[in-house]
A and B are shown apart, each in its own frame.
Chain A
Amino acid sequence: MANCPVCKQPVDEAAAKAQTGMTPGGAKEVDPKMGTRQFHDGTWYYFDSLECRNKFTRNPDGYLSGAA
């Protein structure tokens, strides 16, 4: 279980990546309600919502250092 770097809510990484369907082209689909993630400096960070991720995108260093 990860914590959202922005709001500190727990995010289930496995659930966020768990396959819930497949596109006609064969790609894995996931449940958008289970959170999202961002690839930052070689590491995946998990968020409970797009809103939190948007905040993180604007100031990643601030959230990772705890200064934001």
Chain B
Amino acid sequence: MDFAYSAEQEALRREVRQFIKENVTPELADEANPESDVERPRGQGPMAAALYKKIYDRGWLGITYPKEYGGQGGDRLTQYIVEEEFTRAGINITLGGSGAPAIMAAGTEEQKQYYIPRLIKREVSFCLGFTEPHAGADLANLRCSAVRDGDDYVINGQKMYTSAAHMSTHIYLMARTDRNAPKHEGISIFLFPMDTPGITVRPLWTIQNNPTAPVGTTYGNSRTNETFFDDVRIHKSCLLGEENKGWRVGSMGLNLDRVGASRYLISVRRDEDIVNWVKNNRFDGYSPAENPAIRDKIAEMWIEAQVCRLMTMRSMSIVERGGKFTYEGSAEKVWAPEHGVRVTEAITQMLGPYTTLLRTSAHAIEDGVFAHNVMGSFQSGINHGSVQVMRDQVARRGLELPSSRRPKKVEAK
């Protein structure tokens, strides 16, 4: 068992760092950061677009995807190394969401040929249309309907928390195609463009709005959306996988999306920022790094971060070896966000009231990133499957417990 990186992997890391040093300025990171300006699409400012072109030309986007679909046919650890370095620089190079892994697993050859190269080149981006006002943790309760009409489906209904709907070119939608089937059956997945007539996007502002979060904030989304579908007509070729089998496709996509670096990466910059701040600041000749209480907290935080990293490595290893990936991603999705809550609380205790000042305050520390991270850490426990749902999945898939149900009420005598 060797946990060290190979010489080639270390060389790749140095190459990526050098590239970042030569190409990524704070202004560019700000432009590429989707939260720095709520009106600007992700990575579509002129500087950011040029940067992504350069990253693509280096072969650093879509590393794990097959070459015939525009990827590199590489391994997950290579992708992890590249993503980790770009995350430190505030640049997101992931393909974003479960669309791509779901298409690879369940898509037709035509869908793979169309979507995967465009996702890698960032010409296509998906927002996730799963949650509804009455179907969040209990997603199978969804009611948005897709009714077959000749060669088309007609969609009516709504989705909540479609976070990137205002920036995406396409939607990855889960809808009910059989109202009479049991609730986990009769569900299908569809992929279609956001400019299809009948789609309406309504903004919902989060706690990260006004001021928007600075670059480097963990879950700094200032805006999410609700999205409405009024008689949206799409061709049957938009169906992903089999009709009425969408629950399995959607679950598989979410699970596969949780493989890889993303759960650890949401911690990297935040955890390193506080370590560097403690090391690099002195007050009246005294360094916080010399304070026993702060050292204790920092060490504890680092240990937790390593658990997070090792869980990520284990998930990648399972998938690389072709093993069965069942509950591991859910376990990561519990540990990483809750680690974030503990870390941001610890940082607030260590640095005091100034850490609660947002970036608009002249007295904010590091452009308010620590304050925005406090809010982001709580968001991360809800986004993309709440930690409660994830624990339930660990219980069912990992520990093989039966599905949960409430005990019967016992009438008092």
The chain A residues found within 8 Å of chain B, CB to CB, are 17, 19, 23-30, 32, 36-40, 42, 50, 53-54, 57
Contacts and interface: CB of A to CB of B under 8 A. Distances in A.
B157 A39 contact: yes
B51 to A, nearest CB: 18
Contacts of A27: 165-166, 194-195, 199-201, 227
B164 to A, nearest CB: 9
Given A32-B204, A37-B228, A38-B133, A24 B167 contact: yes
Main secondary structure of the interface of A (DSSP, over half): mixed
A18 to B, nearest CB: 10
B133 A23 contact: no
Interface in B147-189: 156-158, 165-170
**Residue from A25, A36, A40 having most chain B Cβ neighbours under 10 A:** A25
B156 A39 contact: yes
Contacts of B199: 27-28
Interface in B56-73: none
Interface in B170-224: 170, 193-195, 199-204
A48 to B, nearest CB: 14
B143 interface: yes
Contacts of B157: 39
Contacts of B201: 23, 27-30
Given A23-B167, A23-B168, A39-B228, 9 more contacts: A17-B230, A23-B194, A26-B169, A27-B194, A28-B199, A32-B204, A37-B228, A39-B143, A39-B157
10 contacts: A24-B41, A26-B193, A26-B195, A27-B165, A27-B194, A28-B200, A28-B201, A29-B202, A39-B144, A50-B204
B166 to A, nearest CB: 5
Contacts of A50: 204
A25 B200 contact: no
Which 7 A-B pairs give the minimum distances between C-beta atoms? A26-B195, A25-B194, A27-B194, A24-B41, A27-B199, A25-B169, A39-B157
A24 B157 CA distance: 22
Nearest to A24: B41
A57 to B, nearest CB: 5
A29 B200 contact: yes
Interface string B95-136: 000000000000000000000000000000100000001100
